[in-house]
Amino acid sequence: MGFLPPIPRSAAGYRLYTEYHIDQMRLARLALHAPYPGGKDPVLAAVNAAAAGNLGEALEHAYRYLVQVRSEFAQADAAVVLLERWASGMPADVTARPLRIGQAAALLKLSPDLLRHWERNQLIQAPRDPHSGYRIYHAKEIGRLRVIRMLRAAGYSMMAVLRLMRHLDTGSQGDLRAVLNTPDANEEITSAADAWFTTLRAQEERALAMIDQIEAMLRKYQR
């Protein structure tokens, strides 16, 4: 897979691993496991560059991954700031007239199918026009959709957002970050994103550990 440098063979055909191979294995084992907040490209690039002996380039890619993870954390944090202000009573929308689902989707740059999907998953309940039976969205519903959209875009799972919305719908407040980050005991955890803050902090530590490993290799193999 290209994650190790070429391995020489003995006269009998046995592989002969060097100390560099061992250090590269440590880097690959550290780096190559999910999740990869923001994408795995810089992680793969770091491991491949180190395998090719280009440790300076590998270090640049590892720092790029650190920046990427910290950017993801900043997005997650900003989404919670919006959530906290909205939950405390700050309006998130001032749409003056009720909108049908197609109009609401166009306003939010989402698809009607996604709005229906969120409703099926109980993130939102749109009222119905008593005459036509069509869903109608007022400023209250549009504001809630804006918060849901930002939370989902920032990496929070459907289950985490549902947990949060159910919490708020009961009139509860408290530490909303903790609610987003802490699965209930009766939930089936299918994704690390159910504890997204914890996941991002762990990935930041992993990025820093990758940097430490590459820097140790740079010091060891500098010529």
For tokens 């939010």, what's the residue?
108
Q: What is the pLDDT of residue 190?
A: 55
The CA R_g of the chain, rounded to the nearest whole Å, is 24
Task: Judge if 63 and 132 occupy the same domain.
Answer: no
Q: What residue numbers bound the domain in which 206 lies?
A: 19-72+199-221
Task: Clarify whether residues 162 and 210 are in a common domain.
Answer: no
User: Is residue 63 a part of any domain in this protein?
Assistant: yes
Q: Flag whether 4 is in a domain.
A: no
Q: Give yes or no: residues 95 and 140 share one domain.
A: yes
Residues 153 and 177 grouped into a single domain = yes
Return d(Cα 203, Cα 39) in angstroms, integer. Answer: 12
Whether 148 contacts 118, CB under 8 Å? yes
Give residue 210's pLDDT. Answer: 97
Q: Does 211 lie in the same domain as 167? A: no
Residues 99 and 181 in one domain: yes
Q: Do 59 and 101 fall within a single domain?
A: no
Number of domains in the chain: 2
Asked if residue 178 is part of any domain, the answer here is yes
Is 119 contained in some domain?
Answer: yes
Q: For 176, what's the count of Cα atoms within 13 Å in the CB-facing half-sphere? A: 26
Same domain, 23 and 55: yes
**What is the reported pLDDT for 194?**
74
Looking at beta carbons, which pairs linking 150-154 to residues 24 or more positions away fall under 8 Å? 150/78, 150/79, 150/82, 150/83, 151/79, 151/83, 151/180, 153/75, 153/79, 154/72, 154/75, 154/76, 154/78, 154/79, 154/196
Interatomic CA distance for residues 202 and 208, integer angstroms: 10
Residue 156 placed within a domain: yes
Phi, psi of 91 (to 5 degrees): -60, 145
Instruction: Give the pTM.
Output: 0.84
The pLDDT of residue 185 = 67
- Exposure on the CB side of residue 203, measured as CA atoms within 13 A: 29
67 and 134 both lie in a single domain: no
pLDDT number for residue 2: 87
Q: What is the pLDDT along the chain (223 residues), one digit of tens a residue?
A: 889 999 999 999 999 999 999 999 999 999 999 899 999 999 999 999 999 999 999 999 999 999 999 999 999 999 999 999 999 989 888 888 999 999 999 999 999 999 999 999 999 999 998 888 899 999 999 999 999 999 999 999 999 999 999 999 998 888 999 998 888 766 665 555 578 889 999 999 999 999 999 999 999 998 7
Q: Do 126 and 158 have their domain in common?
A: yes
Instruction: Verify that 188 and 120 share a domain, yes or no.
Output: yes
**Pair (93, 168) in one structural domain:** yes
